[in-house]
Every structure is written in structure tokens, then in C-alpha cells.
Amino acid sequence: MITNGAGNYAIWPGRFLRFRNYGTQVAPNSGSMGFGVPAAVGAKRAFPERMVIAFAGDGCFLMNGQEFATAVQYDLAVIVIVVDNGIYGTIRMHQEREYPGRVSATQLKNPDFAAYARAFGGHGETVRRTDEFAPAFERAVASGKPSIIHCFLDPEAITPATTLTKIRDAALRPKDWAISP
């Protein structure tokens, strides 16, 4: 079962994972940041026999990441994949599209999310390169503990199809504002 909140990071599992059965994805319809981690805790409590993985952007995790403590308290072996690009990505994308180069209040100062997991008694991993992910995921599963895999992502990779620079450049290009009769 996959859970996620709201943010550009949610495009990645939506684009690349195939949900073939009902009851395999738990996600908000209303753009609720912070939904993924508490949803994963609830899903694992309701379905302890199932693997439950939460995708969370760094900003999204910071909204309700304290629910990881609940997972540890009740020994709910969820795996939280924190996608850390150091920004509120969706807000930044909109800023670049509407006000190119006028960035305001989207930078984040993040903790070490893997250390955060260990501080609660869970399992923590840090991933900086793609080839590090599979072994980190295998270790998280093998730990049998609630786990956080802290994945660093270049903030330029705002979606699978574009970058912040491309969005900004498109916004700066002159537009044809001619009104036709």
C-alpha cells in the first residue's frame, strides 16, 4: 500500500508506480500536505500484514512527521520515503511560473531525517544517489522497524518532465498578447 500527501514529489509515484488493485493507494483529493505519514500509520494499523510505504516531500513530512513516533510506539513497520529537495516545490514552481526569479519563503532548513528516525528508535537510511536506493530499501524492510529513507533530490528536478529553470525561462519569454476579434 502506498500513501502520499500533496506536493510535486507525489507526481513521481503517480507517474511511475502501477496501481493494479483497489486499496493500494491512499492519497488526498484536496491537496492536503502532511497526509502521507499519518495515512501510512493508520493503514498499517488497519492492515498489519501489508507492506505500507509513505512518500513524503520534505515540506510535507514536516507538517505531520511527528506521527512517525506513533509508528514506533505501536511497532508499525511503515517505510517513509522522504524526498528532500530543500524547498516547498509546488509553491516554488508556481512562483517561477507567475513571478519568475522572485522567490519568496520556499527554502527549507531540514533536519537529518534518517537521524530523526533513529532518535525515535526506528530505522534510518540516507540516499544521495539512485544506486543507493535499492540496498537502503532492502535494509529498511529487513529491519522490521518503522523506517525513514531520506532521499536527496536536486530541486531543479521539479517534475519528471521539466525543471525549475525551464519553467522560469518559459515565463520570461515574451508572450503574444494580441486579442483577436
Question: What CA–CA distance (Å, rounded) separates 129 from 17?
Answer: 20
> Which pLDDT belongs to residue 119?
98
Question: What is the pTM (predicted TM-score) of this model?
Answer: 0.91
Q: Please report, to the nearest 10 degrees, the dihedral formed by the alpha carbons of residues 43, 46, 47, 51 taken in order.
A: 30
Domains of the chain: 2-172 (3.40.50.970)
DSSP 78-140: -EEEEEE-SB-HHHHHHHHHHSTT---S-B-----HHHHHHHTTSEEEEE-SGGGHHHHHHHH
Question: pLDDT of the chain along its 181 residues, tens only?
Answer: 999 999 888 888 877 888 888 888 888 888 789 999 999 999 999 999 999 999 999 999 999 999 999 999 999 999 999 999 999 999 999 999 999 989 999 999 999 999 999 999 999 999 999 999 999 999 999 999 999 999 999 999 998 899 999 999 999 988 766 565 5
Question: What CA–CA distance (Å, rounded) separates 79 from 125?
Answer: 11
